[in-house]
Amino acid sequence: MGVQDYTQRRWIILAASCIINLCIGSLYAWSVFADPMADHLASIAGTEEQNLSLVFTVANGIGPVTLISGGIINDRIGPRRLIIGGGILFGAGMIASGFATSLAMLLVTYGLGVGLGVGMVYGATIGNAVKFFPDRRGFVGGIATAAYGISSVIVPLAANALIDSYGVANAFKVLGVGMLAVICICGLFVERCPEGFAPEGWIPRASTATHIGTTDKDWREMLADPIFFIMIAMLCCGAFSGLMITSQASPIAQDMMGMGPAQAALIVSMLALLNTAGRVVSGFLSDKLGSIATIQGVFVLTATSMAMLFISSTSAEWVFYLGICGAGFCFGSIMGIYPGFTASQFGLRHNSVNYGIMFCGFAAAGLIGPSIMSVIRGSCESYAPAFLVAVALAILGLALTFLFKRKANNS
Protein backbone atom coordinates (compact mmCIF):
# COMPACT_ATOMS: atom_id res chain seq x y z
CA MET A 1 0.00 0.00 0.00
CA GLY A 2 1.37 3.39 -0.99
CA VAL A 3 1.78 6.59 0.96
CA GLN A 4 -1.34 8.10 -0.61
CA ASP A 5 -3.46 5.13 0.47
CA TYR A 6 -2.17 5.31 4.05
CA THR A 7 -2.68 9.09 4.09
CA GLN A 8 -6.39 8.49 3.45
CA ARG A 9 -6.83 5.29 5.49
CA ARG A 10 -5.21 6.74 8.59
CA TRP A 11 -8.45 8.61 9.33
CA ILE A 12 -10.37 5.33 9.31
CA ILE A 13 -7.74 3.84 11.62
CA LEU A 14 -8.06 6.84 13.94
CA ALA A 15 -11.87 6.53 13.98
CA ALA A 16 -11.67 2.81 14.81
CA SER A 17 -9.12 3.53 17.54
CA CYS A 18 -11.41 6.17 19.06
CA ILE A 19 -14.38 3.77 19.18
CA ILE A 20 -12.17 1.16 20.83
CA ASN A 21 -10.98 3.70 23.41
CA LEU A 22 -14.59 4.68 24.07
CA CYS A 23 -15.21 1.07 25.13
CA ILE A 24 -12.18 0.61 27.36
CA GLY A 25 -12.73 4.03 28.95
CA SER A 26 -15.65 2.43 30.78
CA LEU A 27 -13.05 1.58 33.41
CA TYR A 28 -13.75 5.07 34.77
CA ALA A 29 -17.46 4.29 35.09
CA TRP A 30 -16.63 2.03 38.03
CA SER A 31 -18.40 4.34 40.50
CA VAL A 32 -21.71 3.41 38.83
CA PHE A 33 -21.12 -0.27 39.56
CA ALA A 34 -19.50 0.09 42.99
CA ASP A 35 -22.49 0.53 45.31
CA PRO A 36 -24.85 -1.89 43.53
CA MET A 37 -22.08 -4.49 43.36
CA ALA A 38 -21.30 -4.01 47.06
CA ASP A 39 -24.96 -4.67 47.87
CA HIS A 40 -24.97 -7.67 45.53
CA LEU A 41 -21.91 -9.24 47.18
CA ALA A 42 -23.28 -8.50 50.64
CA SER A 43 -26.56 -10.25 49.79
CA ILE A 44 -24.67 -13.32 48.57
CA ALA A 45 -22.33 -13.51 51.57
CA GLY A 46 -24.93 -12.41 54.09
CA THR A 47 -22.60 -9.72 55.42
CA GLU A 48 -22.60 -5.94 55.61
CA GLU A 49 -21.95 -3.87 52.49
CA GLN A 50 -18.27 -3.78 51.53
CA ASN A 51 -16.08 -0.90 50.34
CA LEU A 52 -15.03 -1.80 46.79
CA SER A 53 -12.73 1.16 46.13
CA LEU A 54 -9.77 -1.24 46.13
CA VAL A 55 -11.10 -2.82 42.93
CA PHE A 56 -10.77 0.44 40.98
CA THR A 57 -7.37 1.14 42.54
CA VAL A 58 -6.05 -2.22 41.31
CA ALA A 59 -7.62 -1.86 37.85
CA ASN A 60 -6.24 1.65 37.41
CA GLY A 61 -2.80 0.87 38.85
CA ILE A 62 -2.15 -2.35 36.94
CA GLY A 63 -2.49 -0.77 33.49
CA PRO A 64 1.19 0.19 33.03
CA VAL A 65 2.17 -3.50 33.22
CA THR A 66 0.48 -4.26 29.90
CA LEU A 67 1.09 -0.77 28.52
CA ILE A 68 4.82 -1.50 28.66
CA SER A 69 4.81 -5.22 27.83
CA GLY A 70 2.11 -4.63 25.22
CA GLY A 71 4.27 -1.96 23.62
CA ILE A 72 7.05 -4.51 23.16
CA ILE A 73 4.60 -7.03 21.70
CA ASN A 74 3.06 -4.33 19.51
CA ASP A 75 6.44 -3.66 17.89
CA ARG A 76 6.67 -7.36 17.00
CA ILE A 77 3.16 -8.45 15.99
CA GLY A 78 1.44 -5.14 15.27
CA PRO A 79 -1.47 -3.35 16.96
CA ARG A 80 -4.34 -5.34 15.44
CA ARG A 81 -3.59 -8.62 17.20
CA LEU A 82 -2.72 -6.82 20.40
CA ILE A 83 -6.00 -4.89 20.39
CA ILE A 84 -8.06 -8.02 19.73
CA GLY A 85 -6.18 -9.93 22.44
CA GLY A 86 -6.59 -7.08 24.90
CA GLY A 87 -10.25 -6.71 23.92
CA ILE A 88 -10.87 -10.37 24.70
CA LEU A 89 -9.17 -9.97 28.09
CA PHE A 90 -11.15 -6.78 28.81
CA GLY A 91 -14.49 -8.27 27.75
CA ALA A 92 -13.88 -11.54 29.56
CA GLY A 93 -13.01 -9.59 32.72
CA MET A 94 -16.28 -7.64 32.50
CA ILE A 95 -18.33 -10.79 31.86
CA ALA A 96 -16.61 -12.71 34.66
CA SER A 97 -17.26 -9.79 37.04
CA GLY A 98 -20.94 -10.55 36.60
CA PHE A 99 -20.31 -13.98 38.11
CA ALA A 100 -18.21 -12.69 41.04
CA THR A 101 -19.38 -13.76 44.48
CA SER A 102 -16.70 -12.10 46.60
CA LEU A 103 -14.36 -9.14 46.74
CA ALA A 104 -11.42 -11.45 45.98
CA MET A 105 -13.07 -12.69 42.78
CA LEU A 106 -13.88 -9.12 41.74
CA LEU A 107 -10.27 -8.10 42.28
CA VAL A 108 -9.22 -10.83 39.85
CA THR A 109 -11.95 -10.38 37.23
CA TYR A 110 -12.27 -6.59 37.17
CA GLY A 111 -9.12 -5.43 38.93
CA LEU A 112 -6.73 -7.65 36.99
CA GLY A 113 -8.72 -8.76 33.93
CA VAL A 114 -10.24 -5.43 32.95
CA GLY A 115 -7.22 -3.42 34.16
CA LEU A 116 -4.69 -5.46 32.17
CA GLY A 117 -6.96 -5.48 29.11
CA VAL A 118 -7.24 -1.69 29.19
CA GLY A 119 -3.46 -1.32 29.31
CA MET A 120 -2.95 -3.59 26.30
CA VAL A 121 -5.57 -1.88 24.15
CA TYR A 122 -4.90 1.73 25.19
CA GLY A 123 -1.19 1.53 24.49
CA ALA A 124 -1.75 0.02 21.03
CA THR A 125 -4.42 2.49 19.89
CA ILE A 126 -2.70 5.63 21.16
CA GLY A 127 0.82 4.69 20.08
CA ASN A 128 -0.21 3.59 16.61
CA ALA A 129 -2.53 6.57 15.98
CA VAL A 130 0.18 9.07 16.90
CA LYS A 131 2.61 7.38 14.49
CA PHE A 132 0.15 7.85 11.62
CA PHE A 133 -0.06 11.59 12.28
CA PRO A 134 3.45 13.06 12.61
CA ASP A 135 1.92 16.27 11.26
CA ARG A 136 -0.73 16.44 14.02
CA ARG A 137 0.74 14.57 16.98
CA GLY A 138 -0.80 16.72 19.70
CA PHE A 139 -4.24 16.95 18.12
CA VAL A 140 -4.49 13.21 17.38
CA GLY A 141 -3.18 12.30 20.83
CA GLY A 142 -5.88 14.57 22.25
CA ILE A 143 -8.65 13.09 20.09
CA ALA A 144 -7.68 9.49 20.84
CA THR A 145 -7.48 10.08 24.59
CA ALA A 146 -10.67 12.19 24.51
CA ALA A 147 -12.61 9.18 23.26
CA TYR A 148 -11.27 7.30 26.29
CA GLY A 149 -12.32 10.14 28.59
CA ILE A 150 -15.83 10.73 27.20
CA SER A 151 -16.66 7.12 28.03
CA SER A 152 -17.12 8.15 31.66
CA VAL A 153 -20.05 10.31 30.48
CA ILE A 154 -21.68 7.88 28.04
CA VAL A 155 -21.18 4.45 29.62
CA PRO A 156 -22.79 5.32 33.00
CA LEU A 157 -26.06 6.10 31.18
CA ALA A 158 -26.16 2.63 29.64
CA ALA A 159 -24.87 0.97 32.79
CA ASN A 160 -27.49 2.61 35.02
CA ALA A 161 -30.28 1.57 32.66
CA LEU A 162 -29.02 -2.02 32.61
CA ILE A 163 -28.57 -2.13 36.38
CA ASP A 164 -32.08 -0.79 36.98
CA SER A 165 -33.62 -3.28 34.53
CA TYR A 166 -31.56 -6.44 34.97
CA GLY A 167 -29.37 -6.03 38.06
CA VAL A 168 -25.69 -5.23 38.38
CA ALA A 169 -24.44 -8.78 37.68
CA ASN A 170 -26.27 -8.98 34.36
CA ALA A 171 -25.21 -5.42 33.51
CA PHE A 172 -21.57 -6.53 33.71
CA LYS A 173 -22.30 -9.49 31.43
CA VAL A 174 -24.22 -7.53 28.79
CA LEU A 175 -21.67 -4.70 28.63
CA GLY A 176 -18.82 -7.21 28.56
CA VAL A 177 -20.24 -9.07 25.57
CA GLY A 178 -21.08 -5.87 23.71
CA MET A 179 -17.71 -4.20 24.27
CA LEU A 180 -15.77 -7.36 23.45
CA ALA A 181 -17.55 -7.52 20.10
CA VAL A 182 -17.06 -3.81 19.30
CA ILE A 183 -13.36 -3.83 20.23
CA CYS A 184 -12.61 -6.93 18.16
CA ILE A 185 -14.57 -5.72 15.11
CA CYS A 186 -12.99 -2.24 15.19
CA GLY A 187 -9.60 -3.85 15.81
CA LEU A 188 -9.83 -5.39 12.34
CA PHE A 189 -9.70 -1.88 10.84
CA VAL A 190 -6.49 -0.96 12.67
CA GLU A 191 -3.26 -1.38 10.72
CA ARG A 192 0.36 -1.08 11.70
CA CYS A 193 1.92 2.25 10.77
CA PRO A 194 4.79 1.75 8.29
CA GLU A 195 8.16 2.72 9.70
CA GLY A 196 9.14 6.24 8.71
CA PHE A 197 5.64 7.03 7.42
CA ALA A 198 5.04 10.63 6.34
CA PRO A 199 1.64 11.68 4.98
CA GLU A 200 1.45 12.77 1.38
CA GLY A 201 2.37 16.42 0.91
CA TRP A 202 3.75 16.87 4.42
CA ILE A 203 7.26 18.24 4.81
CA PRO A 204 8.70 17.85 8.35
CA ARG A 205 9.70 21.13 9.92
CA ALA A 206 12.98 21.76 11.64
CA SER A 207 13.17 21.09 15.36
CA THR A 208 10.91 23.48 17.27
CA ALA A 209 9.45 23.82 20.71
CA THR A 210 7.06 21.01 19.86
CA HIS A 211 9.81 18.74 18.63
CA ILE A 212 12.94 19.09 20.70
CA GLY A 213 14.13 15.51 20.35
CA THR A 214 15.69 14.73 16.96
CA THR A 215 16.43 11.01 17.15
CA ASP A 216 14.49 7.85 17.94
CA LYS A 217 15.38 6.46 21.35
CA ASP A 218 14.41 3.05 22.69
CA TRP A 219 13.36 2.60 26.31
CA ARG A 220 16.93 2.06 27.53
CA GLU A 221 18.14 5.26 25.89
CA MET A 222 15.08 7.11 27.17
CA LEU A 223 15.74 6.00 30.75
CA ALA A 224 19.36 7.12 30.39
CA ASP A 225 18.18 10.61 29.46
CA PRO A 226 17.68 12.89 32.52
CA ILE A 227 14.86 14.65 30.66
CA PHE A 228 12.74 11.50 31.00
CA PHE A 229 12.67 11.82 34.79
CA ILE A 230 11.66 15.47 34.54
CA MET A 231 8.86 14.56 32.14
CA ILE A 232 7.48 11.71 34.24
CA ALA A 233 7.56 13.92 37.34
CA MET A 234 5.67 16.60 35.42
CA LEU A 235 3.07 14.03 34.38
CA CYS A 236 2.63 12.87 37.98
CA CYS A 237 2.20 16.47 39.19
CA GLY A 238 -0.24 17.22 36.38
CA ALA A 239 -2.42 14.14 36.89
CA PHE A 240 -2.42 14.32 40.70
CA SER A 241 -5.22 16.85 41.20
CA GLY A 242 -7.45 15.41 38.49
CA LEU A 243 -7.24 11.85 39.81
CA MET A 244 -7.63 13.07 43.40
CA ILE A 245 -10.89 14.85 42.55
CA THR A 246 -12.24 12.34 40.02
CA SER A 247 -12.05 9.54 42.59
CA GLN A 248 -14.33 11.40 45.02
CA ALA A 249 -16.08 14.14 43.05
CA SER A 250 -19.59 13.34 44.29
CA PRO A 251 -18.66 13.13 48.00
CA ILE A 252 -16.67 16.37 47.69
CA ALA A 253 -19.67 18.20 46.24
CA GLN A 254 -22.02 16.85 48.90
CA ASP A 255 -19.68 17.35 51.85
CA MET A 256 -18.18 20.75 50.99
CA MET A 257 -21.11 22.40 49.26
CA GLY A 258 -24.08 20.58 50.78
CA MET A 259 -25.30 19.40 47.39
CA GLY A 260 -27.80 16.61 46.98
CA PRO A 261 -27.05 13.40 45.04
CA ALA A 262 -28.61 14.72 41.80
CA GLN A 263 -26.63 17.96 41.85
CA ALA A 264 -23.47 16.04 42.79
CA ALA A 265 -24.05 13.74 39.80
CA LEU A 266 -24.13 16.86 37.62
CA ILE A 267 -20.73 17.82 39.02
CA VAL A 268 -19.36 14.41 38.01
CA SER A 269 -20.71 14.87 34.48
CA MET A 270 -19.24 18.38 34.23
CA LEU A 271 -15.88 17.06 35.37
CA ALA A 272 -15.94 14.34 32.72
CA LEU A 273 -17.02 16.69 29.92
CA LEU A 274 -14.34 19.27 30.71
CA ASN A 275 -11.82 16.43 30.98
CA THR A 276 -12.71 15.42 27.42
CA ALA A 277 -12.64 19.00 26.12
CA GLY A 278 -9.21 19.56 27.68
CA ARG A 279 -7.74 16.62 25.78
CA VAL A 280 -8.85 17.94 22.41
CA VAL A 281 -8.15 21.65 22.98
CA SER A 282 -4.74 21.19 24.58
CA GLY A 283 -3.69 18.66 21.96
CA PHE A 284 -4.50 21.21 19.27
CA LEU A 285 -2.73 24.00 21.16
CA SER A 286 0.40 21.91 21.72
CA ASP A 287 0.77 21.58 17.93
CA LYS A 288 0.49 25.36 17.56
CA LEU A 289 2.24 26.72 20.67
CA GLY A 290 4.51 23.86 21.66
CA SER A 291 4.02 21.17 24.30
CA ILE A 292 5.95 22.93 27.05
CA ALA A 293 4.22 26.28 26.62
CA THR A 294 0.85 24.51 26.73
CA ILE A 295 1.80 22.47 29.80
CA GLN A 296 2.96 25.63 31.58
CA GLY A 297 -0.45 27.18 30.98
CA VAL A 298 -2.11 24.01 32.28
CA PHE A 299 -0.13 24.12 35.53
CA VAL A 300 -1.01 27.78 36.10
CA LEU A 301 -4.69 26.99 35.55
CA THR A 302 -4.44 23.91 37.78
CA ALA A 303 -3.02 25.91 40.68
CA THR A 304 -5.72 28.55 40.22
CA SER A 305 -8.51 25.94 40.08
CA MET A 306 -7.26 24.13 43.20
CA ALA A 307 -7.05 27.43 45.08
CA MET A 308 -10.65 28.18 44.06
CA LEU A 309 -11.79 24.80 45.37
CA PHE A 310 -9.96 25.44 48.64
CA ILE A 311 -11.88 28.67 49.26
CA SER A 312 -15.17 27.50 47.72
CA SER A 313 -16.73 26.25 50.96
CA THR A 314 -16.71 29.83 52.27
CA SER A 315 -17.43 31.48 48.92
CA ALA A 316 -20.20 31.59 46.34
CA GLU A 317 -21.19 28.32 44.71
CA TRP A 318 -19.98 29.51 41.29
CA VAL A 319 -16.41 29.47 42.66
CA PHE A 320 -16.76 25.74 43.26
CA TYR A 321 -18.16 25.19 39.76
CA LEU A 322 -15.29 27.11 38.16
CA GLY A 323 -12.76 25.18 40.23
CA ILE A 324 -14.26 21.83 39.22
CA CYS A 325 -14.38 22.83 35.54
CA GLY A 326 -10.76 23.98 35.66
CA ALA A 327 -9.68 20.77 37.39
CA GLY A 328 -11.39 18.60 34.76
CA PHE A 329 -10.01 20.63 31.86
CA CYS A 330 -6.45 20.55 33.19
CA PHE A 331 -6.55 16.83 33.94
CA GLY A 332 -7.70 16.11 30.40
CA SER A 333 -5.11 18.52 29.00
CA ILE A 334 -2.17 16.70 30.54
CA MET A 335 -3.44 13.35 29.28
CA GLY A 336 -4.06 14.75 25.79
CA ILE A 337 -0.63 16.35 25.47
CA TYR A 338 1.59 13.55 26.72
CA PRO A 339 1.32 10.93 23.92
CA GLY A 340 2.52 13.46 21.33
CA PHE A 341 4.92 15.10 23.79
CA THR A 342 6.62 11.76 24.47
CA ALA A 343 6.85 11.00 20.74
CA SER A 344 8.26 14.45 20.02
CA GLN A 345 10.98 14.08 22.61
CA PHE A 346 12.02 10.45 22.09
CA GLY A 347 10.84 9.71 18.54
CA LEU A 348 7.99 7.73 17.00
CA ARG A 349 9.70 4.42 16.36
CA HIS A 350 9.63 3.15 19.96
CA ASN A 351 6.77 5.30 21.21
CA SER A 352 4.53 2.35 22.12
CA VAL A 353 6.97 1.18 24.78
CA ASN A 354 8.23 4.62 25.73
CA TYR A 355 4.76 6.02 26.37
CA GLY A 356 3.89 2.91 28.39
CA ILE A 357 6.84 3.60 30.68
CA MET A 358 5.99 7.30 30.83
CA PHE A 359 2.43 6.37 31.80
CA CYS A 360 3.79 5.05 35.10
CA GLY A 361 3.73 8.70 36.22
CA PHE A 362 -0.03 8.69 35.74
CA ALA A 363 -0.38 5.40 37.62
CA ALA A 364 1.65 6.80 40.50
CA ALA A 365 -0.62 9.84 40.65
CA GLY A 366 -3.60 7.48 40.64
CA LEU A 367 -2.29 5.76 43.74
CA ILE A 368 -1.07 8.86 45.58
CA GLY A 369 -3.82 11.39 44.79
CA PRO A 370 -6.90 9.51 46.05
CA SER A 371 -4.94 8.17 49.04
CA ILE A 372 -3.87 11.65 50.15
CA MET A 373 -7.44 12.89 49.71
CA SER A 374 -8.79 10.07 51.89
CA VAL A 375 -6.16 10.51 54.59
CA ILE A 376 -6.71 14.27 54.80
CA ARG A 377 -10.48 13.85 54.87
CA GLY A 378 -10.18 11.33 57.67
CA SER A 379 -7.72 13.32 59.81
CA CYS A 380 -9.01 16.86 59.19
CA GLU A 381 -12.68 16.02 58.62
CA SER A 382 -12.49 18.24 55.54
CA TYR A 383 -11.44 17.88 51.92
CA ALA A 384 -10.17 21.48 51.72
CA PRO A 385 -6.54 20.95 52.89
CA ALA A 386 -6.02 18.41 50.09
CA PHE A 387 -6.49 21.20 47.55
CA LEU A 388 -3.53 23.06 49.04
CA VAL A 389 -1.40 19.97 48.45
CA ALA A 390 -2.61 20.01 44.85
CA VAL A 391 -1.67 23.71 44.53
CA ALA A 392 1.83 22.93 45.76
CA LEU A 393 2.26 20.08 43.27
CA ALA A 394 1.00 22.27 40.41
CA ILE A 395 3.62 24.88 41.31
CA LEU A 396 6.25 22.13 41.46
CA GLY A 397 5.12 20.93 38.02
CA LEU A 398 5.43 24.47 36.65
CA ALA A 399 8.98 24.73 38.05
CA LEU A 400 9.84 21.42 36.37
CA THR A 401 8.81 22.81 32.96
CA PHE A 402 11.52 25.45 33.26
CA LEU A 403 14.03 22.78 34.28
CA PHE A 404 12.94 20.77 31.24
CA LYS A 405 13.55 23.71 28.91
CA ARG A 406 16.97 24.30 30.42
CA LYS A 407 18.00 20.65 30.05
CA ALA A 408 16.55 20.37 26.54
CA ASN A 409 18.33 23.50 25.33
CA ASN A 410 21.64 22.24 26.69
CA SER A 411 21.33 18.77 25.20
The string of pLDDT tens digits covering residues 26-70 is: 887 787 888 889 889 988 876 665 667 788 878 877 877 887 887
What's the average model confidence in pLDDT over 147-167? Answer: 87
The answer for 26, left when phi > 0, alpha when psi is -120 to 50, beta otherwise, is alpha
Q: What is the mean pLDDT of residues 303-329?
A: 92
> What is the pLDDT confidence band of residue 209, given thresholds at 50, 70 and 90?
very low
Are both 223 and 112 inside the same structural domain?
no
Give 401's Cβ-side CA count (13 Å radius): 22
Model confidence pLDDT, tens digit, residues 83-135? 999 999 999 999 999 999 989 999 999 999 999 999 899 988 988 898 899 88
* Interval 326-368: pLDDT, tens: 999 999 999 889 988 998 899 888 887 888 899 889 888 888 8
Distance between CA atoms of residues 76 and 360, nearest Å: 22
Residue that is last in its domain, among 187, 211, 238: 187
- Pick the closest to residue 32 from 97, 87, 89, 108 (CA basis): 97
Residue 321, in any domain of the structure: yes
- Give a yes or no: residue 334 inside a domain: yes
| Same domain, yes or no: 164 and 230 | no
Is residue 282, in this structure, part of any structural domain at all?
yes
Count of the separate structural domains present in the chain: 2
DSSP secondary-structure letter at 206?
A: P
On whether both 51 and 126 belong to a single domain, the answer is yes
Nearest to 393 by CA among 365, 360, 359, 352: 365
Specify the pLDDT at position 142.
Answer: 87
Q: How many CB atoms lie within 10 A of CB 272?
A: 24
Does 107 lie in the same domain as 62?
Answer: yes
Quote the pLDDT of residue 235.
Answer: 96
Share of the chain above pLDDT 70, in %: 95
Same domain, 140 and 256: no
Residues 226, 327 share a domain = yes
Query: Is 205 part of any domain?
Result: no
Q: Is residue 67 part of a domain?
A: yes
Same domain, 180 and 308: no
The secondary structure element, H or E, covering residue 156 is: helix 137-166
Domain range spanning residue 400?
219-410
Q: Is residue 198 part of a domain?
A: no
Distances (CA, A) of 354 to 61, 63, 70, 240, 287: 18, 14, 11, 21, 20
Span 170-195, pLDDT tens digits: 999 999 999 999 999 999 999 998 88
Looking at the fold, whether 252 and 382 belong to one and the same domain comes out as yes
Same structural domain, 16 and 163: yes
Q: Which pLDDT score, from 0 to 100, does residue 404 have?
A: 95
| pLDDT for position 212 | 45
Residues of the chain with pLDDT > 90, as a percent, come to 42
In a domain, 98, yes or no: yes
Give the C-alpha separation, 253 to 258, whole Å: 7
| Positive or negative: CA dihedral 393, 398, 404, 406 | negative
Q: What residue type is assigned to position 87 of the chain?
A: G
Average pLDDT, whole number, for the chain?
87
Whether 261 has a pLDDT exceeding 90, the answer reads no
Task: Examine the domain organization and report whether 269 and 402 are in the same domain.
Answer: yes
> Are the beta carbons of 26 and 147 closer than 8 angstroms?
no
Does residue 172 share a domain with residue 233? no
Angle at the Cα of 403 (from 397 to 409), degrees rounded to 5?
140
Tell whether 223 and 169 lie within a shared domain. no
pLDDT band for position 2 (50/70/90)?
low
Find which of 126-135, 238-247, 265-274, 296-305 is predicted with most confidence, using mean pLDDT: 296-305
**What is the pLDDT, as a whole number, of residue 49?**
58
Q: How confident is the model at residue 210 (pLDDT cuts 50, 70, 90)?
A: very low
- Does any domain span residue 319? yes
* H or E, element range at 204: none
Mark which of 136, 163, 187 sits at the end of a domain. Answer: 187
CATH of the domain at 376: 1.20.1250.20
